[in-house]
């Protein structure tokens, strides 16, 4: 049988960052999300309200939006939120096995703060996944299919790759998804249970994002140059693909009760909508900090 080696950790942190991850750990233990009480489930959902900003609809500002009735617009906003919630479910239920596996691969080498935070991270994502599924059930909203394309492929390959790649992929996805959700759902007029759900989620995700940034920045300063070069080469298209799918997701055509005006396979229309003036404005506003951070790492 092979001897377990006391190897140098593959997930490094500076001394200062180890102390900061300690702070994240204490914050998580002080307040553990409880599924029963995190949201006022018994109050139900007010469907007469919009779950997100009307101007944040994927097709707002196009002739397709203008042609919809008020009821169809309201339904579309709910279905768009269902897609965003579905993306959280598919991503977040894939994280605990990925992160636990990193811990098992390095039985002795892992920094204790990294070990503990990967455990906490996993536990928090399990609760989030259950919260999002309960929300879809309560709202009678559909669970969309898992995201496809480069992202889906990448998710399947991650367990075989360096842990920093998994942490960077997770960071990219949850940071974009968080900025999107908070940008769209926190207005005073938005449906209250939906607004609170994304807010409660955000409190824990802010810590996940802080952890991911520290791990990745350390690796880019200290890791092997050829691995970092490969990451630089491969992440720009993944990030673009992710933004495209968040900006407009063609699966929506399967989920509206009315005939959706844009066919799923109409690539030209999909591309035109993703490039609409309203979508370019929103992407510039909501994703600016990810763009800047990626540029700093040489990924864009």
Distance CA 67, CA 261 (A): 9
Q: Which stretch binds Fe ion (CB under 5 A): 7-15, 68-76, 106-114, 208-216?
A: 208-216
Instruction: Among 52, 208, 250, 286, indicate the residue that binds Fe ion (CB under 5 A).
Output: 208
Closest separation between CB of residue 234 and Fe ion, Å?
Answer: 22
d(CA 127, CA 122): 9
Among 128, 207, 214, 286, binds Fe ion (CB under 5 A): 128
Using CB under 5 A, pick the residue from 174, 178, 191, 245 that binds Fe ion: 174
Q: How many residues bind Fe ion (CB under 5 A)?
A: 5
**Distance separating alpha carbons of residues 237 and 217, to the nearest angstrom:** 20
Minimum Å distance from CB 128 to Fe ion? 4
- For position 79 contacting Fe ion by CB under 5 A, the verdict is no
Q: What is the CA radius of gyration of the chain?
A: 20
**In the structure encoding, which two tokens stand for residue 138, read together?**
């309560």
Please report how close the Cβ of residue 204 comes to Fe ion at its closest, in angstroms: 6
Find the part of the chain contacting Fe ion (CB under 5 A) among 71-79, 92-100, 181-189, 254-262. Answer: 92-100
Closer Cβ to Fe ion, 97 or 233, answer by number: 97
Is 203:69 a contact under the CB 8 Å cutoff? no
| Nearer residue to Fe ion within complex by CB, 116 or 205 | 205
Segment interacting with Fe ion, rule: CB under 5 A, options 4-12, 45-53, 139-147, 166-174: 166-174
- Min dist CB 211 to Fe ion, Å, is 9
262: left (phi over 0), alpha (psi -120 to 50) or beta: beta
Closest distance of CB 289 from Fe ion, Å:
17
CB of 41 to Fe ion, least distance (A): 18
- CB of residue 6 to Fe ion, shortest distance in Å: 30
Positive or negative, the Cα torsion across 99, 103, 109, 113? positive
DSSP 217-234: HHHHHHS-HHHHHHHHHH
Q: Which stretch binds Fe ion (CB under 5 A): 65-73, 124-132, 219-227, 284-292?
A: 124-132
Q: Are 204 and 114 in contact (CB under 8 A)?
A: no
222, exposed or middle or buried, with CB in 10 Å at 0-12, 13-18, 19+?
exposed
Helix axes 150-157, 163-185, angle to 10 degrees: 140
Exposure of 274 in the CB half-sphere (CA atoms within 13 A): 17
Binding stretches for Fe ion (CB under 5 A) = 92, 128, 174, 205, 208
């Amino acid at each position: 049988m092979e001897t377990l080696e006391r190897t140098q950790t593959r997930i490094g942190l500076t001394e200062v960052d180890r102390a900061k991850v300690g702070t994240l750990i204490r914050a998580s233990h002080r307040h553990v999300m409880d599924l029963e009480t995190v949201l006022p489930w018994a109050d139900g959902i007010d469907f007469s309200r919009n779950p997100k900003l009307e101007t944040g609809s994927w097709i707002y500002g196009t002739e397709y939006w203008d042609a919809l009735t008020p009821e169809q617009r309201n339904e579309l906003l709910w279905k768009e939120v269902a897609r965003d919630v579905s993306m959280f479910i598919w991503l977040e239920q894939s994280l605990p096995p990925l992160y636990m596996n990193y811990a098992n691969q390095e039985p002795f080498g892992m920094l204790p703060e990294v070990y503990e935070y990967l455990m906490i991270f996993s536990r928090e994502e399990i609760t989030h996944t259950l919260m999002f599924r309960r929300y879809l059930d309560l709202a009678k909203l559909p669970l969309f299919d898992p995201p496809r394309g480069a992202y889906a492929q990448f998710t399947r390959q991650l367990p075989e790759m360096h842990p920093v790649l998994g942490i960077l992929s997770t960071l990219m996805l949850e940071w974009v998804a968080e900025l999107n959700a908070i940008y769209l759902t926190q207005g005073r007029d938005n449906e209250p249970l939906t607004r609170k759900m994304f807010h409660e989620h955000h409190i824990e995700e802010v810590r996940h994002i802080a952890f991911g940034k520290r791990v990745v920045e350390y690796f880019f300063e200290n890791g092997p140059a050829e691995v970092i070069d490969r990451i630089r080469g491969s992440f720009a298209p993944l990030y673009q693909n992710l933004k495209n799918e968040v900006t407009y997701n063609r699966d929506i055509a399967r989920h509206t009760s009315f005939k959706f005006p844009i066919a799923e396979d109409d690539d030209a229309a999909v591309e035109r909508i993703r490039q609409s003036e309203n979508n370019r404005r929103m992407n510039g506003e909501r994703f600016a900090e990810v763009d800047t951070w990626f540029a700093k790492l040489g990924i864009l």
